[in-house]
Protein backbone atom coordinates (compact mmCIF):
# COMPACT_ATOMS: atom_id res chain seq x y z
CA UNK A 1 0.00 0.00 0.00
CA UNK A 2 1.23 3.47 -0.88
CA UNK A 3 1.54 5.96 1.95
CA UNK A 4 -0.72 8.99 2.22
CA UNK A 5 0.55 12.20 3.90
CA UNK A 6 -2.00 13.01 6.60
CA UNK A 7 -2.15 15.98 8.96
CA UNK A 8 -5.35 15.40 10.91
CA UNK A 9 -7.92 12.69 11.51
CA UNK A 10 -10.80 13.87 13.70
CA UNK A 11 -14.49 13.74 14.38
CA UNK A 12 -17.30 13.02 14.42
CA UNK A 13 -18.25 16.64 13.91
CA UNK A 14 -20.29 18.39 11.25
CA UNK A 15 -19.42 19.53 7.75
CA UNK A 16 -19.43 23.31 7.96
CA UNK A 17 -19.81 24.23 4.30
CA UNK A 18 -21.08 23.44 0.85
CA UNK A 19 -23.40 20.84 -0.59
CA UNK A 20 -23.71 18.68 2.53
CA UNK A 21 -23.49 21.49 5.07
CA UNK A 22 -24.45 20.21 8.51
CA UNK A 23 -23.73 16.55 7.69
CA UNK A 24 -22.32 14.54 10.58
CA UNK A 25 -18.91 13.42 9.37
CA UNK A 26 -15.34 12.44 10.20
CA UNK A 27 -12.47 14.44 8.69
CA UNK A 28 -9.19 13.32 7.15
CA UNK A 29 -6.93 16.21 6.20
CA UNK A 30 -4.15 15.46 3.73
CA UNK A 31 -0.94 17.47 3.32
CA UNK A 32 0.21 19.26 0.19
CA UNK A 33 -1.27 21.72 -2.27
CA UNK A 34 -0.39 22.86 -5.81
CA UNK A 35 -1.88 26.31 -5.01
CA UNK A 36 -0.93 28.92 -2.44
CA UNK A 37 -4.05 31.03 -2.05
CA UNK A 38 -3.51 34.40 -0.38
CA UNK A 39 -6.20 33.71 2.22
CA UNK A 40 -5.79 29.93 2.57
CA UNK A 41 -7.29 28.85 5.89
CA UNK A 42 -5.25 25.64 5.92
CA UNK A 43 -1.88 26.99 4.85
CA UNK A 44 -0.26 24.69 7.41
CA UNK A 45 -0.99 21.84 5.00
CA UNK A 46 1.47 23.21 2.44
CA UNK A 47 3.60 26.09 3.82
CA UNK A 48 6.00 23.91 5.78
CA UNK A 49 4.86 25.14 9.18
CA UNK A 50 3.42 21.74 10.13
CA UNK A 51 5.98 19.62 8.29
CA UNK A 52 6.89 17.76 11.48
CA UNK A 53 3.25 16.74 12.03
CA UNK A 54 2.76 14.98 8.71
CA UNK A 55 1.99 11.29 9.24
CA UNK A 56 2.68 8.91 6.38
CA UNK A 57 -0.18 6.46 6.63
CA UNK A 58 -1.54 3.61 4.57
CA UNK A 59 -5.24 3.64 3.72
CA UNK A 60 -5.69 0.92 6.30
CA UNK A 61 -3.88 2.99 8.97
CA UNK A 62 -6.27 5.86 8.25
CA UNK A 63 -9.29 3.58 8.44
CA UNK A 64 -8.10 2.26 11.79
CA UNK A 65 -7.54 5.78 13.06
CA UNK A 66 -11.06 6.72 11.94
CA UNK A 67 -12.50 3.76 13.86
CA UNK A 68 -10.43 4.67 16.90
CA UNK A 69 -11.72 8.25 16.93
CA UNK A 70 -15.27 7.70 15.68
CA UNK A 71 -16.16 4.15 16.71
CA UNK A 72 -19.59 3.31 15.35
CA UNK A 73 -20.70 6.93 15.53
CA UNK A 74 -20.20 7.83 11.87
CA UNK A 75 -21.34 6.89 8.39
CA UNK A 76 -19.66 9.71 6.45
CA UNK A 77 -16.03 10.77 5.96
CA UNK A 78 -14.81 14.06 4.50
CA UNK A 79 -11.38 14.15 2.91
CA UNK A 80 -9.95 17.65 2.85
CA UNK A 81 -6.58 19.30 2.37
CA UNK A 82 -4.56 20.92 0.99
CA UNK A 83 -5.54 19.49 -2.34
CA UNK A 84 -6.35 15.80 -1.88
CA UNK A 85 -6.68 15.44 -5.66
CA UNK A 86 -2.86 15.37 -5.81
CA UNK A 87 -2.93 11.92 -4.22
CA UNK A 88 -3.64 8.97 -6.50
CA UNK A 89 -3.12 6.78 -3.44
CA UNK A 90 -6.40 7.99 -1.91
CA UNK A 91 -8.10 5.42 -4.13
CA UNK A 92 -7.39 2.74 -1.56
CA UNK A 93 -8.96 4.73 1.26
CA UNK A 94 -12.02 5.51 -0.82
CA UNK A 95 -12.37 1.81 -1.65
CA UNK A 96 -12.22 0.90 2.04
CA UNK A 97 -14.89 3.48 2.83
CA UNK A 98 -17.16 2.12 0.10
CA UNK A 99 -16.66 -1.48 1.24
CA UNK A 100 -17.74 -0.42 4.72
CA UNK A 101 -20.82 1.44 3.53
CA UNK A 102 -19.37 4.82 4.48
CA UNK A 103 -20.23 7.83 2.34
CA UNK A 104 -17.50 10.27 1.43
CA UNK A 105 -17.08 13.91 0.61
CA UNK A 106 -14.09 15.67 -0.89
CA UNK A 107 -13.24 19.19 -1.98
CA UNK A 108 -10.63 20.21 -4.52
CA UNK A 109 -9.97 23.34 -6.53
CA UNK A 110 -10.25 21.52 -9.87
CA UNK A 111 -6.63 21.66 -10.98
CA UNK A 112 -6.16 17.89 -11.20
CA UNK A 113 -8.29 14.88 -12.19
CA UNK A 114 -8.37 11.54 -10.40
CA UNK A 115 -10.41 8.53 -11.53
CA UNK A 116 -11.52 7.99 -7.96
CA UNK A 117 -13.58 11.21 -8.23
CA UNK A 118 -16.30 8.89 -9.55
CA UNK A 119 -16.42 7.11 -6.18
CA UNK A 120 -16.89 10.20 -4.00
CA UNK A 121 -20.48 10.58 -2.74
CA UNK A 122 -20.38 14.38 -2.42
CA UNK A 123 -17.68 16.01 -4.55
CA UNK A 124 -17.12 19.75 -4.47
CA UNK A 125 -15.07 21.50 -7.13
CA UNK A 126 -14.03 24.88 -5.78
CA UNK A 127 -12.12 26.98 -8.32
CA UNK A 128 -10.33 29.93 -6.75
CA UNK A 129 -11.36 33.54 -7.50
CA UNK A 130 -8.99 36.46 -8.29
CA UNK A 131 -8.45 37.45 -4.63
CA UNK A 132 -6.67 34.14 -4.09
CA UNK A 133 -3.89 35.25 -6.45
CA UNK A 134 -4.25 31.98 -8.36
CA UNK A 135 -4.99 31.44 -12.07
CA UNK A 136 -7.74 29.00 -13.06
CA UNK A 137 -6.75 26.43 -15.69
CA UNK A 138 -10.07 26.44 -17.54
CA UNK A 139 -9.06 23.67 -19.90
CA UNK A 140 -8.53 21.37 -16.92
CA UNK A 141 -11.67 22.59 -15.15
CA UNK A 142 -13.78 22.05 -18.27
CA UNK A 143 -12.47 18.53 -18.53
CA UNK A 144 -13.25 17.74 -14.88
CA UNK A 145 -16.78 19.17 -14.99
CA UNK A 146 -17.41 17.42 -18.30
CA UNK A 147 -16.32 14.02 -17.01
CA UNK A 148 -18.36 14.31 -13.82
CA UNK A 149 -21.44 15.47 -15.73
CA UNK A 150 -21.13 12.61 -18.24
CA UNK A 151 -20.96 10.19 -15.34
CA UNK A 152 -24.00 11.81 -13.62
CA UNK A 153 -21.88 12.20 -10.49
CA UNK A 154 -23.37 14.01 -7.50
CA UNK A 155 -21.09 17.01 -7.46
CA UNK A 156 -21.27 20.76 -7.04
CA UNK A 157 -19.29 23.89 -7.76
CA UNK A 158 -18.43 26.30 -4.99
CA UNK A 159 -16.71 29.67 -5.16
CA UNK A 160 -15.48 31.58 -2.12
CA UNK A 161 -16.14 35.29 -2.53
CA UNK A 162 -14.25 38.08 -0.79
CA UNK A 163 -15.01 41.06 -3.07
CA UNK A 164 -16.81 42.21 -6.20
CA UNK A 165 -14.16 40.86 -8.56
CA UNK A 166 -14.63 37.47 -6.93
CA UNK A 167 -18.40 37.72 -7.34
CA UNK A 168 -17.89 38.45 -11.04
CA UNK A 169 -15.67 35.39 -11.29
CA UNK A 170 -18.28 33.29 -9.46
CA UNK A 171 -20.92 34.47 -11.92
CA UNK A 172 -18.76 33.45 -14.89
CA UNK A 173 -18.16 30.01 -13.38
CA UNK A 174 -21.91 29.54 -12.77
CA UNK A 175 -22.73 30.51 -16.36
CA UNK A 176 -19.98 28.36 -17.82
CA UNK A 177 -21.50 25.27 -16.12
CA UNK A 178 -25.17 26.21 -15.77
CA UNK A 179 -26.48 22.74 -14.96
CA UNK A 180 -24.20 22.17 -11.98
CA UNK A 181 -25.48 22.97 -8.44
CA UNK A 182 -23.72 26.18 -7.51
CA UNK A 183 -22.65 27.48 -4.10
CA UNK A 184 -21.29 30.89 -3.19
CA UNK A 185 -19.52 31.08 0.14
CA UNK A 186 -18.23 33.92 2.27
CA UNK A 187 -14.51 33.79 2.87
CA UNK A 188 -12.81 34.17 6.22
CA UNK A 189 -10.59 37.26 5.91
CA UNK A 190 -9.24 36.88 9.48
CA UNK A 191 -7.86 33.35 9.81
CA UNK A 192 -5.63 34.61 12.63
CA UNK A 193 -8.42 36.29 14.65
CA UNK A 194 -8.58 34.77 18.13
CA UNK A 195 -11.59 36.75 19.39
CA UNK A 196 -14.40 34.47 18.24
CA UNK A 197 -17.25 36.86 19.17
CA UNK A 198 -15.71 39.59 17.00
CA UNK A 199 -15.00 37.12 14.20
CA UNK A 200 -18.60 35.86 14.26
CA UNK A 201 -20.14 39.32 14.13
CA UNK A 202 -17.81 40.35 11.25
CA UNK A 203 -18.50 37.13 9.34
CA UNK A 204 -22.28 37.46 9.74
CA UNK A 205 -22.09 41.04 8.43
CA UNK A 206 -20.03 39.87 5.46
CA UNK A 207 -22.56 37.11 4.88
CA UNK A 208 -25.46 39.57 4.94
CA UNK A 209 -23.66 41.84 2.46
CA UNK A 210 -23.01 38.91 0.15
CA UNK A 211 -26.66 37.81 0.34
CA UNK A 212 -27.74 41.34 -0.59
CA UNK A 213 -25.41 41.44 -3.59
CA UNK A 214 -26.53 38.06 -4.86
CA UNK A 215 -30.17 38.99 -4.36
CA UNK A 216 -29.75 42.14 -6.46
CA UNK A 217 -28.44 40.23 -9.47
CA UNK A 218 -30.59 38.59 -12.08
CA UNK A 219 -27.65 36.55 -13.37
CA UNK A 220 -27.33 34.76 -10.01
CA UNK A 221 -30.74 33.22 -9.37
CA UNK A 222 -30.34 29.49 -9.13
CA UNK A 223 -27.61 29.64 -6.51
CA UNK A 224 -27.09 28.93 -2.83
CA UNK A 225 -25.24 31.40 -0.58
CA UNK A 226 -23.70 29.96 2.55
CA UNK A 227 -21.36 30.90 5.38
CA UNK A 228 -18.83 28.55 7.00
CA UNK A 229 -20.75 27.13 9.96
CA UNK A 230 -17.71 25.69 11.72
CA UNK A 231 -16.09 29.15 11.86
CA UNK A 232 -19.26 30.61 13.37
CA UNK A 233 -19.30 27.89 16.03
CA UNK A 234 -15.62 27.30 16.75
CA UNK A 235 -13.86 30.36 15.35
CA UNK A 236 -10.40 29.64 13.98
CA UNK A 237 -9.83 26.57 16.16
CA UNK A 238 -8.39 23.52 14.39
CA UNK A 239 -9.53 19.92 14.65
CA UNK A 240 -13.24 20.48 15.31
Q: Is 81 in the site for ligand SF4 (CB under 6 A)?
A: yes
144 binds, options ligand SF4, a copy of itself, none, Cβ within 5 to 8 A by partner type: none
Name the pairing type of β-strands 155-161 and 55-57. Answer: unpaired
Q: Is 197 in the site for a copy of itself (CB under 8 A)?
A: yes
State yes or no: cis peptide before 12, omega within 30 of 0.
yes
Q: Is 13 in the site for a copy of itself (CB under 8 A)?
A: yes
| C-beta closer to a copy of itself: residue 59 or 214 | 214
Q: Is 167 in the site for ligand SF4 (CB under 6 A)?
A: no
| Residues 53-72 interacting with ligand SF4 (rule: CB under 6 A) | none
Residue 143 Cα distances to 111, 119, 137, 149, 212, angstroms: 10, 17, 10, 10, 33
Residue 75 Cα distances to 1, 116, 240, angstroms: 24, 19, 17
> C-alpha angle 22/187/103, rounded to 5°?
30
Site pattern 104..143 for a copy of itself (x: CB under 8 A) = ----------------------------------------
220 binds, options a copy of itself, ligand SF4, none, Cβ within 5 to 8 A by partner type: a copy of itself
Contacts of 102 by beta carbon, 8 Å cutoff, 6+ apart = 74, 75, 76, 77
| C-beta closer to a copy of itself: residue 125 or 220 | 220
Phi-psi label, residue 22: left if phi above 0, alpha if psi -120 to 50, beta otherwise: left
How far apart (Å, rounded) are the C-alpha atoms in residues 207 and 186? 6
By CB under 8 A, name the one of 172, 177, 207, 213 that touches a copy of itself. Answer: 207
| C-beta closer to ligand SF4: residue 97 or 125 | 125
37 binds, options ligand SF4, a copy of itself, none, Cβ within 5 to 8 A by partner type: ligand SF4
Q: Measuring CA to CA, which residue among 114, 127, 203, 204 is closest to residue 158?
A: 127
Q: Which residues bind ligand SF4 (CB under 6 A)?
A: 33, 35-37, 40, 42, 45, 81-83, 109, 128
Amino acid sequence: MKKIPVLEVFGPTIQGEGMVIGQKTMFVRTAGCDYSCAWCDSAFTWDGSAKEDIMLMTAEDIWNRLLEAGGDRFSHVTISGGNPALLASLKELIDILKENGIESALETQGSRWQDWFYDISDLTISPKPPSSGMETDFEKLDEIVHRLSENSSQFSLKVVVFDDLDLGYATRIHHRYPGVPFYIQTGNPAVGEGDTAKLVSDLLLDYETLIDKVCERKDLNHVRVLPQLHTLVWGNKRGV
